Structure 1
Amino acid sequence: MPPPRDSSPERDYRPRRQSAQRRSRNSSAVRNSDDNGERGERAGREPRRRSRRPEPGTSVPPITRGEPRGESSNGSSATLSAAALAQLNKQNAKRKASPKKERARAKPPRVATVESEDEYRYAPSRRPRDSRDAARDDRTRPKPRMVPPDSDDEYQYLTAKKREERARKRAPAMESDDEYQRLTPHRRTDSDDKGYRVVDARPDKPKSYERLRPDNRAGEDRSRLRVASGPMLEQGIRARNVSGGMLEKGGFMARFQNLRGGHGGPSMSSSSGYESVDKMSDDIGSSPPKKKRKKLWIAVGIGVVIVIIIIIIAVTVSKKKSDDGDGKGSNDTPSQGLGDISPDDIPADAPTWLNPFKWADTTDFNLTYTAQTVGDLPVMGLFSQWDDSKAANDQVPALNKPWGDYSKRPARGVNVGGWLSLEPFITPSLFAYDLRLGIVDEYTLCTHLGSRCESVFEKHYATFVTEQTFKEIADAGLDHVRIPFSYWAVQTYDGDPYVFRTSWRYLLRAIEWCRKYGLRVNLDLHGLPGSQNGWNHSGRQGYIGWLNGTDGDLNAKRSLEIHNRLSKFFAQDRYKNIISHYGLANEPKMTFLSVDAVLQWIEDAYALVRKNGVKDAIVVFGDGFRGLANWQGELQDLGDGAALDVHQYVIFNTNQIVYKHHDKIKYACEGWTEQTELSMDRSRGYGPTLVAEWSQADTDCAKYLTNVGWGNRWTGTLLTGSESSDVSTPRCPYTDSRCDCIAANAPPDQWSDDYKTFLKMFAEAQMYSFEKGWGWFYWLWDTEDAYQWSYKKGLAAGVLPEKAYQRDFNCDVSKIPSFDNLSEAF
């Protein structure tokens, strides 16, 4: 092994020639001494000296420091002869003239004088060894520093020194020896007999070692020093681990090595593999060379680009598949029952809405293909048998029994709104677009979605309302369900972007689920051709094209055609018991439209429905917001088979939304009770009246309730685009800047007990009032997050009676709390 490097200042380790005066002084001192080398026998301090190797055939005695020339090492005083001195001088002259390596072989090393105790201790190579040296070697003292450069080890020493200098240049600057040791963990401080050599040995620092190459390991079995692919170095080989794990499993350099050796790079097995690892061990140090780092980052960058391209392609292909198949990507949910039929049973030209293999949901449908129609409407997925023996609860008769007089047994129902006719505030997630896109209703949404509209809508149809919905409605003590749907379930026209006829299938299945739980159905045509009110829930917000404008009469005629087909279909015996109410038009805006034109259309539609066989269902038409007293004497010829549909809310009335909680309950008990009784009296109003929409909401803060992006009355931010309908003054009870929607939009678990008391009392007051007529239908069963509008969420929060026919409050006004702690806040 090459000599270690001392931490002391650099010295000239070439033997220095003694001056003639010093040699004379030393010689005379020794000759005058009687102890024959006593100085060289002091315990533990006698310097060792390597003997010179004499020329072959000579017997020149060794010369040691402390011995006079001409005296033997055992203390005898034998003097060299003149012939021996002449021969020695001749050999010295010969060595001077010979090459350096020849001199090293031919002569013993020259001796340097030990000038101090430290040099004596840390330069043991220049003093003779004795029996105590073996014990010293085991101590934790620095290893010998170096041998004279003229020795045979000079080549190895210089080579190691050059390697060390190269490694030092590659490594980053170290601020301290601790950092040097931390960043070069391969420089181990253990035995130097396991394939390492000392590269650093100083009195005040631990030794550092460098791995020997296989050629320097005599007798090493290279076959067992194979290297596994990747970062796992086997059989005791330890590569440098820089920055905490670059060569550990999964580390950065391990992956780099995989690229080099495991993916087409140089092999890392056998002897060549060992050399690769040894080179890698030397190269890693603190960081890879710049060229390797550059190649590495290029490879990583290419890999990232490839991954991004693959992801984009996968997303594009997936999106394309979802758009294929007649615009349907609706097979996202598993279909049931399709194993009983074969695709070969479906005609090749069958439309999507008749092909069950393209339906998103087939649960509870008869999947036997049929093109049969009734009233020119398809019998889609209907079983030929049905059972009307179920009753919703023990308070009402079964479906196959007459209901009786609604004025004595009022309907207690709920709407499944926002399902087959979209309304943004019910499902705001479907309208989560940038306002600048102008997506505000079903028309603009389908226009934006294009070919994707059918798959998006059918997913909504299949998930927003399910069989569980109707089971929960019956469990809540309700007995009727109002199902809003729009004309495109039956027919579409040129320019319509709506999804044609998909909602028709879900409407028919919903009726069958109502039958299963004994619930009677109120069919509600919520959107008519051209829009009868210009509100988003009619399909298209803005322009009213029904009985108005260029196509007003055409759209009125189309609406009658829709009812002609609907009434023929629902005149079947199948629907005789379950269809209790048949709605003609939801909320026609008679404050804008011609009253006479609307009344004439109602008369025509009523006659058509009755003519086509719908005889038992109550035909319903909207009050048109013209005031209940104004209906006195209107449409009296229709008889008791028709009913006026009234919708009662305080929040859409600028003068009523400002009421405090006490006043809202009082108004429900007194004001709405008075209005219902007036309308039921033919001498003062129309006659048979039911309230098909109402809620517990006392603010209009719900997102998109007043239209997408319009603001609300509660905070005075309602901007309709018309000064006559804008509300710029806050209409909460404060009527100032303290009005906000935070509490109003909070989830039920954050409602105070007093607020829950108000909500429940407000609901029961309305139930009491509307049961003075032919009953009520709460708007609506469930929403995404408009909590005050959801009957389901109200039940869970305890702000509605557990059963719809049970009430704790029956409008005794004296029992209405003052709600002082809430009256100012709301």
Structure 2
Amino acid sequence: MKFFTVISTTLILLLRQVVADHHHNDHTIRGVNVGGWLILEQWLGGDIWNTAPDASDEYSFCNSLGQDAAFSALQQHWSTWFTKDTVNELASYGINALRIPIGYWSVVKDQSQPYVMGAMDYLDQALGWAEDAGLKVWIDLHGIPGSQNGFDNSGRAGAVDWQTNSSNIPASITVLQSLAEKYSASNYSDVVVAIELVNEPISWSPNNVSVTRQFYIDAYSAVRSSLTDNQDLQIIMHDSFVNLSDWSDMPSTVNASYDQLGLDTHIYQVFTPETTTLDGPGHVQKACDYQYSLQSSNDVLPTYAGEWSAAEEVCIYSNGTTAAGTSCSEDGCQCTSDDSSQWSQQLVDVVRSFVEAQMDVFEGNSTGYFFWSHTGPGAWNFISGVQQGWIPQPLSDRQFPGQCGFQLQNETDDGYHGYHDHRRVKRGLLGSI
């Protein structure tokens, strides 16, 4: 009887994998976010903050300087923070997609706010660079009227008024319709593959996740009806910091085919006590544990790790053991909080193993990922990661294979055309029996 149970279990898992592989259609995204560019985020750095030392987000930046001075400073920032050379460098590292955050005020003028328009011209320029380099682009509505989360990444830190003012959700949908109409036109169809409805709407007070859900339903319909030439443009919703499984009914709710609707989840290991108390192997195990929820969600609708990073709060001692922390005093001890260009090979290896575990899980159990960010401090900087050896080159290279109990089939990365069939082999779904 046990023999037949094993056989039937094997068949079920095989069928599940065939279905998943059919869904994926060999379209794995290996992307990078363009952070701090068309929406300012002070912690990512940049000379622009020297022009308004008291500012802490884009709202206070524009408010402090006034329209003319803010526009001048922003133009300088927009033209230098992310360039054609950046795009080509990322492409040379095997990246095949970009997720570009933008604020609503750049799309539709908001007379009631101090924000400055002009970023769309730079977005359009970047789309041309991306297309030339063979990269695809997600346009991500990162900041919406009233702020969906009160974080600086929404444009304005502080109050969360998106759902408390009845005009904000309709205004958000108007912005999305404008984006959909423009970027589904034939001249963008080879580069813009998705629009994200809103980045990181919180699910707690004063937001209500049921209101966010209804917004997704209404916005999906509005975007679909606004599409011009590219009817295949994917529409992405963020998980709103609730379980991925809570969104499994959405494809049938909005009557979406498999590829029309996508789910974005952000996976970091630095913002909660649950993760900041982990040592090096603990972070790897935590990364591996995400494979189950991601796989289950990805079987229902394309699921992406739209943001993740190499950041972890870990120190390594001279004997090779690791511990949670941001500082240590023992001779030979070093922490990830130190300048990454000064990391010892031992510490580089710790971070590299964490990165590889995450990449394995995203490659094997989701439809793709976007690292946060192309630049930034320490382990948040993708380009530094490649140059310093804690991000694999090529992206498929593994110094720590099989950490999560499976290995990926070898593939060649050749830009977006390097899509591969990411069935897990040995020790994977079938190897677990």
Assess same fold via TM > 0.5: yes
Alignment of 1:536-615 (within 5 A): 536-548=152-164, 551=165, 553-592=166-205, 593-613=207-227, 614-615=230-231
- Counterpart position of 1:628: 244
- Counterpart position of 1:656: 275
CA deviations on 1:199-242 (whole Å, 9 max, x unpaired) are xxxxxxxxxxxxxxxxxxxxxxxxxxxxxxxxxxxxxxxxxxxx
How far did residue 425 of structure 1 move?
1.1
- Counterpart position of 1:639: 257
CA deviations on 1:369-416 (whole Å, 9 max, x unpaired) are xxxxxxxxxxxxxxxxxxxxxxxxxxxxxxxxxxx9536331111111
- Counterpart position of 1:486: 103
Q: Distance in 2 between matches of 1:667 and 1:655?
A: 10
Aligned counterpart for 1:527 among listed residues 143, 148, 151: 143
Q: Which has the larger radius of gyration?
A: 1
Is the CA contact (8 Å cut-off) linking 1:699 and 1:744 kept in structure 2?
Answer: yes
CA deviations on 1:164-188 (whole Å, 9 max, x unpaired) are xxxxxxxxxxxxxxxxxxxxxxxxx
Change (3 A) 1:570 1:663: same
Change (3 A) 1:807 1:431: same
Q: Distance in 1 between matches of 2:28 and 2:87?
A: 20
How far did residue 571 of structure 1 move?
2.0
CA deviations on 1:743-800 (whole Å, 9 max, x unpaired) are 43333331011110111111111011112111111111112xx021001001110111
- Counterpart position of 1:424: 42
Q: Distance in 2 between matches of 1:767 and 1:787?
A: 19
CA deviations on 1:24-54 (whole Å, 9 max, x unpaired) are xxxxxxxxxxxxxxxxxxxxxxxxxxxxxxx
Aligned residues: 368
Q: Name the amino acid aligned to 1:799.
A: W
Alignment of 1:395-794 (within 5 A): 406=24, 408-427=26-45, 429-431=47-49, 437=54, 439-450=55-66, 451-500=68-117, 502-548=118-164, 551=165, 553-592=166-205, 593-613=207-227, 614-636=230-252, 637-640=255-258, 641-669=260-288, 671-682=289-300, 687-699=301-313, 733=324, 743-771=335-363, 772-783=365-376, 786-794=377-385
TM-score (norm 1): 0.43
Alignment of 1:320-469 (within 5 A): 406=24, 408-427=26-45, 429-431=47-49, 437=54, 439-450=55-66, 451-469=68-86
- Counterpart position of 1:298: none
Q: Distance in 1 between matches of 2:287 and 2:263?
A: 19
How far did residue 495 of structure 1 move?
2.7
TM-score (norm 2): 0.79
Is the CA contact (8 Å cut-off) linking 1:520 and 1:579 kept in structure 2?
Answer: yes
Q: Distance in 2 between matches of 1:569 and 1:423?
A: 26
Q: Distance in 2 between matches of 1:598 and 1:481?
A: 25
Q: Name the amino acid aligned to 2:263.
A: L
How far did residue 508 of structure 1 move?
0.3
Q: Distance in 2 between matches of 1:498 and 1:644?
A: 29
- Structure 2: any 5+ residue segments left out of the alignment? 1-21, 316-322, 407-433
How far did residue 814 of structure 1 move?
8.2
CA deviations on 1:310-365 (whole Å, 9 max, x unpaired) are xxxxxxxxxxxxxxxxxxxxxxxxxxxxxxxxxxxxxxxxxxxxxxxxxxxxxxxx
- Counterpart position of 1:797: 388
Is the CA contact (8 Å cut-off) linking 1:478 and 1:803 kept in structure 2?
Answer: no
CA deviations on 1:688-709 (whole Å, 9 max, x unpaired) are 21111000000399xxxxxxxx
Change (3 A) 1:497 1:476: same
How far did residue 512 of structure 1 move?
0.3
Q: Distance in 2 between matches of 1:753 and 1:742?
A: 11
**Higher RCO, Cα 8 Å, sep 6+:** 2
SS of equivalent residue, structure 1 residue 526: strand
- Counterpart position of 1:47: none
Change (3 A) 1:736 1:752: closer
Q: Distance in 1 between matches of 2:222 and 2:341?
A: 50
Q: Distance in 1 between matches of 2:217 and 2:155?
A: 24
Is the CA contact (8 Å cut-off) linking 1:424 and 1:430 kept in structure 2?
Answer: no
Q: Percent of aligned positions with the same letter in both sequences?
A: 31
How far did residue 432 of structure 1 move?
5.0
Change (3 A) 1:659 1:565: same
Q: Name the amino acid aligned to 1:574.
A: N
CA deviations on 1:38-95 (whole Å, 9 max, x unpaired) are xxxxxxxxxxxxxxxxxxxxxxxxxxxxxxxxxxxxxxxxxxxxxxxxxxxxxxxxxx
Q: Name the amino acid aligned to 2:36.
A: G
Is the CA contact (8 Å cut-off) linking 1:623 and 1:645 kept in structure 2?
Answer: yes
CA deviations on 1:124-161 (whole Å, 9 max, x unpaired) are xxxxxxxxxxxxxxxxxxxxxxxxxxxxxxxxxxxxxx
Is the CA contact (8 Å cut-off) linking 2:136 and 2:192 kept in structure 1?
Answer: yes
SS of equivalent residue, structure 1 residue 638: coil
Change (3 A) 1:807 1:700: closer
Q: Distance in 2 between matches of 1:805 and 1:546?
A: 41
Kindly indicate which of the two structures has a greater share of residues assigned to strand: 2
Is the CA contact (8 Å cut-off) linking 1:580 and 1:617 kept in structure 2?
Answer: yes
- Counterpart position of 1:115: none
Q: Distance in 1 between matches of 2:203 and 2:251?
A: 15
CA deviations on 1:558-601 (whole Å, 9 max, x unpaired) are 11111121111112111122111211101111233112211111
Q: Distance in 1 between matches of 2:314 and 2:240?
A: 21
Output the aligned Cα RMSD.
2.6
How far did residue 675 of structure 1 move?
2.1
Q: Name the amino acid aligned to 1:659.
A: L
Q: Distance in 2 between matches of 1:425 and 1:668?
A: 24
Q: Distance in 2 between matches of 1:518 and 1:780?
A: 19
SS of equivalent residue, structure 2 residue 256: helix
Is the CA contact (8 Å cut-off) linking 1:591 and 1:624 kept in structure 2?
Answer: no
Is the CA contact (8 Å cut-off) linking 1:603 and 1:635 kept in structure 2?
Answer: no
Q: Name the amino acid aligned to 1:470.
A: V
Q: Distance in 1 between matches of 2:275 and 2:281?
A: 12
